[in-house]
Amino acid sequence: MSTRRQFLATSAAFALGSTAASAATEPTHILADGEDSKDARLNPMKTLNDYFPFQVPATLAEWEARKKVVREQIQVALGLWPMPIPTPLNPVIHSPIERDGYTVEKVQFASMPGHYVTGNLYRPTGKTDGPRPAILSPHGHWNNGRFHTANDKEIQAQLDSKAEKTREGAKHPLQARCAGLAKLGFVVFHYDMVGYADSTALEHRTGFADVDAELRAHNMMGLQTWNSIRALDFLESLPGVDRKRIGVTGASGGGTQTFILCALDDRPACAFPAVMVSAQMQGGCTCENCSGLRVNTGNVEIAAIFAPKPLAMSCADDWTKKFLQDGYGLPELKKLYGLYGKAENVDAKAWLEYGHNYNSKAREYMYAFFSKQLLGKDGPVEEPTYVPIPPKDLAVFDEQHPRPADEKKIADLRQALRERDGEWIKALRSGKDAKAVEAFRAVVGPALRAMVNSELPAKIAIRKGPIESKHDGFVMHRAILGRENEADAVPCAGVFNPKTAGPKLVVWAHPAGKSSLLVDGKLAPAVKSLTDAGYAVVAPDVLRIGENNTSRIPYKVDAGFAGYTFGYNRTLLANRVHDLLTVIAFGKTITKSQTIHLVGWGEAGPWAVLAKALAGEAVTKTAADLNKFTFSAIQSTSDPMLLPGAVKYGGILSFQALCAPGALLAHNEASADEFLPVAYAGAAGKLTRSADKWSEEKVVEWLAAK
């Protein structure tokens, strides 16, 4: 069947749109004058304060596949894909303070060379028949963190509202949590968030907001999560701790750390993230946000990764106040846990008379939860009384225990991270055989999928069209394409010669979009050469180009921290690659093209490379003008070519290697390396490279050659 007939045979599939002639004056236009493309991505971009519902998959198999994708996305966003190789902790534990039934010690250890985690270790002193269960406790954004002390007015308000039962609990609620758990028989490690209490080598909220940090996936959230993973390593290493009975609990920012850690690390047995899991506000600090983290996901789904292990949560009169309602969290988590036959393993309680907190009511709910899960004791638990320790006496560093001499400030730490990642990617790309290429693909392939947050879709939605127009020597079809599970709308134009058309398609990526198909109303010379050779040529207006730029809302990235923008939205580059994948899938599933080539011109050349790397065998040949582009040359987080994490994984050269074994023409390259030929070693003759820019005629000749 000819490509023309294939296009016409899909009329029923195009029934969602009009088949009447467009009122637009431009030959390639499909929108009427003044009509909007209705692409939701042209609306204001999503923020941390929007709605993030969790759609529970229909089957457990679907969830397990989705779970793997989301976990990889989290790791890539945090700069923890693959996990760094742990270095020695070299813990220092000193100066025990005796209390009734437990001791409190001061702790420091190196989560990585030159960066230290500090905190207090609470250990029960009573007799035990064997190893004790343990609780890891990140604190959250309380003033002074581990040293938090409420003032007299705050104390009285907590007592008057009955949020707290004792003055000690009201004055030192974080200490009360740890002491209460220790008196119940748990070993507890209460550790500092970066920039709080003793962890003052780095400031909280600062240090990772520039474009270099974005390109390398270095961020405060990733650093804190690595600290949490190493804190778990520390807790496991202690004699007398039962490694199979470890729980995690924190509130607010500590709640975020709790469910993020439990999404990535399989070791915790149960978890209690307080006042944080929600389909509403997702966490407002830079330590809770980073680029790529919540694109097409959210905190409820991230918390669900822990299933089917026991999970409990507390809610208050804050962004968690609707969590118990359908669409906001708990009913969806119950349904998800039900896929495992473990719906009883997840629960939550709300105290809507109180604001954001981890007060005695929530703490007692938590004590009962951990007592049941880790001690085998069912029933309510009343918080034990305790004698607080003055915060100055909890400090890790003193004259006898000074700050480590090798402790790094932000500039030195970031340089160390650059060197670590540089050595890692160099080693990954230094192999010379098929096994090395396979290892490279296993890491960089999922990383690229996560950074772009897209893949080749199985189904395509037709938003409008087809609109056919006949011209001298060619026929044009115009349509708007999208994906069934998204609200995108990609205007496209396809041209073919009805006398020569066969089952062959070229996806034409151009900075000017579909208007580049024509020059003065006639096919552009390169396009005509392809149609004369039997190809249909389809060009999209990818996001914010041509008719896909109808928004009056400017493309704007948060000036203070790009993670507040790209933590919830694809970058412009990622969206454009996503759109190319949509068009490739159109050729594969709608026109049933047996051969699909991809060509990228000018700045669209790198888009084509990334799209081919993700499309796999669906694309036969890819010709890309690399435009002398390198990700490392990007100077601004608002650059349309920004892809957070790209430099970490080797940049455009690595993504070219993912195109193997498909035929690749990479011309106008900025640089070359030795690994790309290794990736193509098993595909003789499939790789063509040039530092020079090829002419359109020469590119088309390469594409059309058998």
The pLDDT tens digits of the residues spanning 99-110 come to: 999 999 999 999
Share of the chain above pLDDT 90, in %: 93
Phi-psi region of 372 (alpha: psi -120 to 50; beta: other; left: phi over 0): alpha
Helix (H, G, I), strand (E, B) or coil at 600: strand
- Taking only the tens place, the pLDDT of each residue in 574-628 is 999 999 999 999 999 999 999 999 999 999 999 999 999 999 999 999 999 999 9
pLDDT at 139: 83
Average pLDDT of the residues in 205-228:
97
Q: Are 145 and 204 in contact (CB under 8 A)?
A: no
pLDDT at 305: 98
- 582 backbone dihedrals φ, ψ, rounded to 5°: -60, -45
Question: What sections of 359-471 are H helices per DSSP?
Answer: 360-370, 391-394, 410-428, 434-452
- Residue in 503, 565, 533 with CA at minimum distance from that of residue 699: 533
Query: Structure pTM?
Result: 0.95
- 61 backbone dihedrals φ, ψ, rounded to 5°: -60, -45
Q: How many helices (H) and strands (E) does the chain have?
A: 21, 20
- Taking only the tens place, the pLDDT of each residue in 438-492 is 999 999 999 999 999 999 999 999 999 999 999 999 999 999 999 988 999 999 9
Distance of alpha carbon 620 from the chain centroid: 30
Query: Residue 183 above 70 pLDDT?
Result: yes
pLDDT at 19: 31
- Amino acid identity of residue 195, one-letter, is G
- Taking only the tens place, the pLDDT of each residue in 360-411 is 999 999 999 999 999 999 999 999 999 999 999 999 999 999 999 999 999 9
pLDDT at 25: 59
pLDDT at 8: 33
pLDDT at 23: 37
Average pLDDT of the residues in 126-154:
94
Tokens of 595: 């051969």
pLDDT at 660: 97
Query: What domains are there in the chain, each with its CATH number?
Result: 3-30+450-704 (3.40.50.1820), 67-397 (3.40.50.1820)
Burial of 405 (0-12, 13-18, 19+ CB in 10 A): exposed
Neighbours of 409 (CB within 10 A): 12
Query: Residue 13 above 70 pLDDT?
Result: no
